[in-house]
Structure 1
Amino acid sequence: MDTSVFTDFTMTIAGRAVAGDTSYEVLDPADETVAARAPVCSPEQLDQAVAAARAALPGWSATPLEERRKLVLAVADAVEAQLEPLKRLLTREQGKPLDDAAAEILGFGYWLRGTASLSLPETVNEDSAERLSVTRRVPLGVVGAIVPWNYPLGNAGFKLAPALLAGNTVVWKPSPFTPLVTLKVGELLREVLPPGVLNVVSGGAELGPWMTAHPGIDMISYTGSTRTGRQVMAGAAPTLTRVTLELGGNDAAIVLPDVDVPAVAEKLFWGAFANSGQVCLSIKRLYVHREVHQPLLRALAAYAATVRVGRGTEAGVRLGPVQNRPQYERVLDLLQDSHTRGHRFAAGGRPGEGPGYFVGPTLVDDPPESSRIVQEEQFGPVLPVLSFDDIEDAVTRANASEYGLGASVWSSDPEAALAVGRRLRAGTVWINEVQHLTPLVTFAGHKQSGLGSESGTEGLLEYTAPQTVTLRRTAPAAAA
């Protein structure tokens, strides 16, 4: 793979390149070789990044909204101009196929452009001869953006676009597993944004807690596991730092008996297995009416057999590896548990041979509701396909999870599916599709799937605080 255009990696602090005192190896998940070395941010360098963001805050927040809008669009342009080398770098560190890497980079630009079209509302509470009262939205300050490894650039767009548009400055931290594209984008944007407006730091597991507890950071926007989200919330509590948390999901899909099986099988497959199942909104529990359970299971297995798994740079590959060893071992542990308990497999069920963190698309046939493969979020290419006889039972089982991120309902009768969907306890419910998101529509998790919102006007407002300004127009009446 030719990544020679991107070799050295530095952090970005106050618009300048900053090397770490030490570095660490970033592995290619397709063969476990070293893709590159990334800098390790020290506590002192994090202080410098936060100080740079705070120093840039007055000027950036005072920049007119229209100018900030133009610069957010310029960020999208600068990243897309480097699509070819960036997609190769992303595939090398994350593992996804090149086409999917390109789609993620273009999605970053799409998200920035869509968010840049939004405006901050201003409410006139009173406009009388006596006074003018207006409530407006002001930036929170310095935002710490903590991004996961499944979509290192795509998820960043959800945070950077509203944070910058609203007038905040940012310290951006990628996952230790996928820092390379983030570091390179930080370098590209040194020529686009004023110094200190966007700072990029990288490092190990200790860097996130340093950020959440840092007194100079006003808001943490975190995407990742629910377990770590609780730690983020606890770390931010002593300083009352604002948090938005987009956390885990165990999304249910309910398939009604009237579906056209051949028509929905491929859609359901990609709803579950896109990015090798490493999507927060993947279908992770598939509830299928017994009348169509076995036909649909066979159709899914037949389609799975046509999907090539391998290194993301190879022609025809549709699914890459699990991104990192800890997650790979977690997926294998869930598979072993299913084997031990005698669950039936309609496809897959074993790791790939040779180096790399490969697991082929796996279908588990009607495991018990209480089994780990149903109750726990897999975040990998494994899907339990469960049967039901009664829609009340399906809704109850779908809602029983501690998570409530997304859900979907599939039927040839959209109105019947909509009636079922409205009973599901999830932040986003799709009918006859899944994972359709836009920067103009609010996305939020229920229950243990998160706090706050992303995208749309509500997501933009998460990066602001309301401020009411009241002007007294007439002098107070004199005391009698």
Structure 2
Amino acid sequence: MSVTDIATRRDAETDAETFDSLNPANGEVVGTYPVHGAEDVAAAVARAREATAFWSSLSFAERAERLRAWAGVLTRRLAQLCEVVHAEVGKPHGDAQLEAALAIDHIAWAARNASKVLGPRRVSPGLLMANHATTVEYRPLGVVGVIGPWNYPVFTPMGSIAYALAAGNTVVFKPSEHSPGVGAWLVDTFSQVVPEAPVLQLITGFGPTGEALCRSGVDKIAFTGSAKTGTHVMRACADTLTPVIIEGGGKDALLVDADADIAAAADAAVWGGMSNAGQTCIGVERVYVHERVYDAFVSEVTARARQVRAGADPGAKIGPITMPSQLGVIRRHIEDALARGGRALVGGLDAVGERFVQPTVLVDVPEDSIAVTEETFGPTLTIAKVRDMDEAVERTNATAYGLGATVFSKSRGMELARRIRSGMASVNSVISFAAVPSLPFGGTGQSGFGRIHGPDGLKEFTSAKAIARQRFPIPLALTTFARSEAADKAMATLTTLLHGNAGKLPRRRR
């Protein structure tokens, strides 16, 4: 289901297939993990199915207590977790700590709010069914499969794992083959606070392992990765009508209005586009700037981008490109932009090395260049001048993606954010929506569908249960073959009284 740069081998003693997790900064082996086949996956799902009897029987408060305990363990062992993330995906410790801290906050929010969002609540039965008491509640699905990415191996899958667990589901987690150690670390720490049953389990491997999870009979799949791989996930899930949540990446834009704070907007563009070496699905890849402030903005961005350096030493601001094959994608995008008349004000083709990519700022790039139309997933920015924000919105929306967006404007920020076709937007800040646990996270178009985080994220891992209870009988019995002609007339009269005047235009006075 995905292309990998990692080789496998057979264990000499057990004949089991294994693969190595490699440090992307130097190629050193971080750990060795099994390639789980379909039988292994089926066994894990069967164990998870048995564990649902224990986990779903707990009250919201009891599950919350255990999730808070997990958040506490992650907090106390934060430095250790950051070291695992740094070793496997290469990001600086500070960025790993930011990612983990946000994930911990999401665990705490899901634990604290699951009862309020998912617990039974009364709803109005309406006049026709006034003799009934009506309630709705949200029941756990059972077993949820989570297929996580490598770029944010803690924060991103936790948006599904924590919310699915808080809702009462058990989880089988397949991390990326580039970050299995992070997944193993998370699962191990959870088992320490919930030792009673295998509520959260780990499976490791490549595309076939993920496909086996999709076909294993789980009750839902939450996937984060490329749109192309997302289509394979959907095909595999279709055979068993397994519902899916897809978060498929983006080509997010930042809009800079004439009245924007230029220094703040430039800082947001550079951090949003180049933090984590640009390997951020909600990162900034395109920038559209009002012509009146274009020159000042470009000058500010180039000055800031030149201060950012990729490397493995403590002074480097960004780390390596985690997936080696992505280097070719980044190089091809820069090459196409330059061949089509674009100019590199910072970086360029020479910025792409064997493991690291230095920041690259491109201007005068045609809108049909692949550097503008396709996800680059590297520390690059394209900056374009626009006559006004109407043109900026039009260009922003001229994409198959629709994940996040950023707007810098003192007077029109909310208006412009609403006009952008995206699942999320930040105004006068960048990527801030992801740090707010109560906000839903997800996109449209090629960026996928479904939501994690917030109340919507909790509900994604449940099914709504509606219950109508008759409190007392009434003469106007509607759901019976013994219904009388008088009851039919009474129902028609009542319906006319309730809805007959809807849509009528008021009489004009002469």
Q: TM-score, normalised by structure 1?
A: 0.90
Paired with 1:458 and 1:465, the residues of 2 have a C-alpha distance of: 12
Q: Does the 8 Å CA contact 1:20/1:42 hold for their aligned counterparts?
A: no
Paired with 2:22 and 2:109, the residues of 1 have a C-alpha distance of: 33
Q: Does the 8 Å CA contact 1:169/1:198 hold for their aligned counterparts?
A: yes
Structure 1's 267 and 51: CA in aligned 2 closer, same or farther, altered over 3 A?
A: same
Residue of structure 2 in register with 1:329 after alignment: 328
Residue of structure 2 in register with 1:234 after alignment: 235
Residue of structure 1 in register with 2:488 after alignment: none
Map 1:276-355 onto structure 2 (within 5 A).
Answer: 276-311=277-312, 314-351=313-350
Residue of structure 1 in register with 2:153 after alignment: 152
Deviations 1:339-390 (A, max 9, x none): 3334210101135587x52001100112011111011111111111111113
Paired with 1:117 and 1:451, the residues of 2 have a C-alpha distance of: 25
Q: Does the 8 Å CA contact 2:191/2:198 hold for their aligned counterparts?
A: no
Structure 1's 130 and 417: CA in aligned 2 closer, same or farther, altered over 3 A?
A: closer
Residue of structure 2 in register with 1:106 after alignment: 101
Paired with 1:103 and 1:407, the residues of 2 have a C-alpha distance of: 21
Q: Does the 8 Å CA contact 2:309/2:359 hold for their aligned counterparts?
A: no
Paired with 1:417 and 1:23, the residues of 2 have a C-alpha distance of: 51
Aligned-partner residue type, residue 202 of structure 1: T
Paired with 1:360 and 1:445, the residues of 2 have a C-alpha distance of: 29
Q: Does the 8 Å CA contact 1:142/1:171 hold for their aligned counterparts?
A: yes
Q: Does 1:389 align with 2:391?
A: no
Q: Which range is displaced more, 121-130 or 367-376? A: 121-130
Aligned-residue offset at 1:130: 4.6
Which protein is richer in strand relative to its size?
1
Aligned-partner residue type, residue 241 of structure 1: T
Paired with 1:96 and 1:20, the residues of 2 have a C-alpha distance of: 34
Q: Does the 8 Å CA contact 1:24/1:38 hold for their aligned counterparts?
A: yes
Aligned-partner residue type, residue 399 of structure 2: S
Q: Does the 8 Å CA contact 1:20/1:40 hold for their aligned counterparts?
A: no
Aligned-partner residue type, residue 359 of structure 1: V
What SS does the corresponding residue of 1:134 show, helix, strand or coil? strand
Residue of structure 1 in register with 2:431 after alignment: 435
Q: Does the 8 Å CA contact 1:442/1:459 hold for their aligned counterparts?
A: yes
Deviations 1:64-90 (A, max 9, x none): 111011111111112222222221111
Q: TM-score, normalised by structure 2?
A: 0.85
Q: Does 1:422 align with 2:403?
A: no
Q: Does the 8 Å CA contact 2:172/2:200 hold for their aligned counterparts?
A: yes
Residue of structure 2 in register with 1:358 after alignment: 356
Paired with 2:226 and 2:249, the residues of 1 have a C-alpha distance of: 5
Residues paired across the two proteins, number: 456
Residue of structure 1 in register with 2:23 after alignment: 28
Residue of structure 2 in register with 1:169 after alignment: 170
Aligned-residue offset at 1:331: 1.1
Report the structure number with the largest CA radius of gyration: 2
Paired with 2:392 and 2:198, the residues of 1 have a C-alpha distance of: 51
Q: Does 1:132 align with 2:133?
A: yes
Q: Does the 8 Å CA contact 2:341/2:364 hold for their aligned counterparts?
A: no
Aligned-partner residue type, residue 218 of structure 1: D
Deviations 1:214-255 (A, max 9, x none): 22x010011111111122112111211111111111111111
Residue of structure 2 in register with 1:212 after alignment: 214
Q: Which range is displaced more, 135-144 or 427-436? A: 427-436
Q: CA RMSD in A?
A: 2.1
Q: Does 1:46 align with 2:47?
A: no
Paired with 1:466 and 1:453, the residues of 2 have a C-alpha distance of: 16
Q: Which range is displaced more, 287-296 or 395-404? A: 287-296
Q: Does the 8 Å CA contact 1:146/1:174 hold for their aligned counterparts?
A: yes
- Aligned-residue sequence identity (percent) comes to 35
Deviations 1:184-225 (A, max 9, x none): 22122222123221111111221111111222x010011111
Structure 1's 449 and 129: CA in aligned 2 closer, same or farther, altered over 3 A?
A: closer
Residue of structure 2 in register with 1:11 after alignment: none
Aligned-residue offset at 1:409: 1.4
Paired with 2:383 and 2:473, the residues of 1 have a C-alpha distance of: 72
Aligned-residue offset at 1:429: 1.8
Structure 1's 380 and 407: CA in aligned 2 closer, same or farther, altered over 3 A?
A: same
Residue of structure 2 in register with 1:9 after alignment: none
Paired with 1:440 and 1:319, the residues of 2 have a C-alpha distance of: 29
Aligned-partner residue type, residue 172 of structure 1: F
What SS does the corresponding residue of 1:227 show, helix, strand or coil? helix
Map 1:451-470 onto structure 2 (within 5 A).
Answer: 451-470=449-468
Tell me which of the two structures has the higher relative contact order, counting C-alpha pairs closer than 8 angstroms and 6 or more residues apart.
1
Q: Does 1:37 align with 2:37?
A: no
Paired with 2:232 and 2:277, the residues of 1 have a C-alpha distance of: 27
Residue of structure 1 in register with 2:491 after alignment: none
Aligned-partner residue type, residue 435 of structure 1: I
Structure 1's 166 and 290: CA in aligned 2 closer, same or farther, altered over 3 A?
A: same
Deviations 1:81-129 (A, max 9, x none): 2222221111111010011112222222111012212121433246899
Q: Does 1:372 align with 2:370?
A: yes
Q: Which range is displaced more, 104-113 or 376-385? A: 104-113
Aligned-partner residue type, residue 400 of structure 1: A
Paired with 1:55 and 1:86, the residues of 2 have a C-alpha distance of: 29
Q: Which range is displaced more, 436-445 or 143-152? A: 436-445
What SS does the corresponding residue of 1:453 show, helix, strand or coil? coil
Paired with 2:463 and 2:452, the residues of 1 have a C-alpha distance of: 15
Structure 1's 257 and 210: CA in aligned 2 closer, same or farther, altered over 3 A?
A: same
Aligned-residue offset at 1:182: 0.9
2:399 equivalent among 393, 398, 401 = 401
Q: Does the 8 Å CA contact 2:23/2:30 hold for their aligned counterparts?
A: yes
Q: Does the 8 Å CA contact 1:20/1:39 hold for their aligned counterparts?
A: no
What SS does the corresponding residue of 1:220 show, helix, strand or coil? strand
Q: Unpaired segments of 5 or more residues in structure 1?
A: 1-18
